[in-house]
Chain A
Amino acid sequence: MAEVKCITADPKGVLTGVHYMDGNHAACEGALAAGCRFAAGYPITPSTEVVERFSARIPLVGGVFIQMEDEIASSICLQGAVWAGLKAMTVTSGPGMSLMLEHVGLAACLETPCVFVNVQRGGPSTGLPTLPGQADMQQCRWGSHGDYEVIALSPSTVQECFDFIIDAFNLAEIYRVPVFFMMDECVGHMTEKVVIPEADKIKVVERRYTSKPPEEYLPYKPDPDLVPEMVKAGDGYRIHVTGLTHDEKGYPVINAQAQHEMVWRLVDKIEKNAPKIWRYEEEDIEGADVVVLSYGISARVALKAIEMAKERGLKVGRMRLIVVWPFPEPRVKEIASKVKAIVVPELNIRGQIAREVERIVEGTCRVMRVPHAGGTVHDPERILDAIMEAVK
């Protein structure tokens, strides 16, 4: 397996110090610290502050921001930048994310390492431009046509907007996939303390460029970890890259065999590496009767409900997903075998994550959905109700 080359963050991009800023600004600073030097975007509430800050910061750091004519353009423009050698992101919310989906598939197919930031608002359609939702969690996983896998992370605090977007960029480079940074309006607009470390304390993963000479290099021949090494335009490799089903050379091959090989690898490179990607936080799982499983802002609201439940003498643990996709299936299964119920509060009403939990636990324990249509966060009492109901 190719070694992951780590360097320290580019000092110019790192705003070392203690700050008071909102999640959108922190995400921008995290992206810069991760080495992102290109962003393409189109204004949309509640995400715009990320690129507004980027457009102010990038001329001082070296790089480009371009406001494109729409989100379709943004979501492919950034991939051009990646193939020219930069780290790049785009930032949007609901309606813009819907427009970007064709190019999520393109990124999956070309294996373009890149980051899509979605500061979620209420939907469908124009929905609630200024208010939170968590109803794009399945869209980010399945939204583009065809079979592929992505990675998605979800921050709960402003500090995590900084910290985890760096991880998002690193994961994009390690696995050559589009990585979703699934924020929400609350996290994006909340202002908190953020500690930005010194550049040399920040772990940044560099692109896995090949060391092979052009005559030996096959652009889509994977390493043993199923991820192929990359080159960039202008390096003299004269590669061909296509969104058609392709072979290891990168040439189009339109038949079932080539499709089988390519698509299975695109899925397997995430599924088989999932144990290295899963990331979650747990507390008081041992001996718990009920576990509250959540993510993003809802995981934070759930803390209050858990506290209230504990005051009532209930044994409640919690699991917070940091990486949402790939989903930590074995661990959730294991927890299900030990508890009466898993309670899943989230800002959507169709159980976008709860369904996944239900599928995994296969009836081993109860799964209690705590749906909310978005527009604000849960009342902790409603989460408490579910916990109480679960232990009845």
Chain B
Amino acid sequence: MSVVVDSIKENPVEEFLRTDRLPHVWCTGCGIGTTVNCFARAVKECGIPLDELAIVSGIGCTGRVAGYLKLDSFHTTHGRPIAFATGLHLANPKLKVVVYSGDGDLVGIGGNHFIHAARRNLDITVILLNNFTYAMTGGQVTPTAPLDSIETTTPYGVFEENFNLPHLAASCGAVYVARWTAYHVMQVKKAMVEALNKKGFSFIEILSPCPTIYLRRNRLGSAIDELKYYKEHSVIQHGADTREVGITVRRPEKIIVGKFVDIEKPDYLTAMNKHLSEVLGDKYVRWGE
């Protein structure tokens, strides 16, 4: 018996995707694609013209995001997308530059660039997908892996302390900091819209299931189990003290999510133009205005 499909509904985010590159590389159940869907919807909603938006990724499963979005998109080197984005943004401040990459990429090998970009309050958005592992290379320990996680390079369990990313970003100077999970699709989209429209360094951490590697190796069940866990154990606490939001053990009783920081502060270029105008007067050639 054949099934006749008379109308195939168009995917609402298709216009933002490089459909000629599909199917994508991500596994069934992976949270990355879900977040890309949120991002495409956020792009549609944020009001920024598509030609003024650029996306930069590093290397990893999440690092592949740039390659599927129909924007000016740059797939750079492992850990360095923020440094590339810095140049892109400063050279053409009319572009809204988004960095979209993994936990290992942005705060492992790329940690130095992350803290300095936040400190400088560069007007860029950083979206970090935290799957608690170096997924693309098969599941080695990352600086976000909670205690006791089993990774290929910590076969007896993690004993190092991990990063509390919202606190790291906030204490380095980020003006917008939020954390959500791949379960919270509406909130993720809304946070992305807010971050895109925020002047200064905005940061979103998204906890995301990696069923193929992290969940399987840690016997945490399927992607659905992980999403259920996010649903049942997330506690929305906007404005939470970021010192209190660390995820120190696997599957803690409660994961604090929400918008933790949303403050105003002059971004790097505003500060540069203001300062150099004051010091140099008319001799200063203002940049990017």
Contact = CB atoms under 8 A, between A and B. Distances in A.
A68 B95 contact: no
Contacts of B92: 84-85, 232-234
A77 B76 CA distance: 11
B179 interface: no
Contacts of A81: 87-88, 90-91
B84 A62 contact: no
Contacts of B77: 76, 102-103, 106, 243
Interface string A220-240: 000000000000111111111
Nearest to A37: B91
B51 A240 contact: no
Interface string A77-103: 111111111101000000000000011
Interface in B257-273: 272
Contacts of A252: 67, 75
A61 interface: yes
Contacts of B20: 251
B75 A70 contact: no
A172 B116 CA distance: 29
Interface in B54-91: 54, 56, 66-67, 70-77, 80, 83-91
B86 A66 contact: yes
Contact of A77 (B84, B94, B284, B285): B84
B91 A79 contact: no
A76 B70 contact: no
Contact of A73 (B50, B86, B91): B86
A73 B285 contact: no
Contacts of A66: 86, 90
B68 to A, nearest CB: 9
Contact of B112 (A70, A86, A238, A240): A70
A243 B228 CA distance: 37
A240 B83 contact: no
A64 B287 contact: yes
Contact of A80 (B70, B71, B83, B116): B83
A60 interface: yes
B113 interface: yes
Contacts of B113: 69, 73
A60 B283 contact: yes
Given A69-B113, A241-B75, A79 B67 contact: no
Among A62, A76, A85, A86, the most chain B Cβ lie within 10 Å of the Cβ of: A76
Contact of B51 (A12, A88, A103, A234): A234
Contacts of A68: 83, 86, 116
A80 B280 contact: no
Interface size class of A (residues with CB under 8 A): 35 or more
A243 B52 contact: no
Contacts of A232: 92
Nearest to B79: A72
B18 interface: yes
A131 interface: no
Contacts of B9: none
Contacts of B89: 80, 84
A77 B86 contact: yes
B86 A80 contact: yes
A259 B244 CA distance: 49
B73 A40 contact: no
B224 interface: no
Nearest to A87: B91
B16 to A, nearest CB: 10
A103 B85 CA distance: 14
B280 A238 contact: no
Nearest to B283: A60
A244 interface: yes
Contacts of A16: none
A79 B287 contact: no
Interface of A: 12, 37-38, 40, 59-64, 66, 68-70, 72-74, 76-86, 88, 102-103, 106, 232-244, 251-252
25 contacts: A38-B87, A40-B86, A64-B91, A72-B80, A72-B83, A77-B87, A80-B74, A80-B83, A80-B91, A81-B90, A84-B88, A84-B91, A84-B92, A84-B95, A85-B91, A88-B91, A103-B80, A106-B77, A234-B52, A234-B95, A240-B75, A241-B73, A241-B75, A242-B75, A252-B75
* The 5 nearest A-B residue pairs measured at CB: A80-B87, A84-B91, A81-B91, A62-B285, A80-B88
Interface of B: 18, 20-21, 50-52, 54, 56, 66-67, 70-77, 80, 83-92, 94-95, 112-113, 116, 272, 276, 280, 283-285, 287
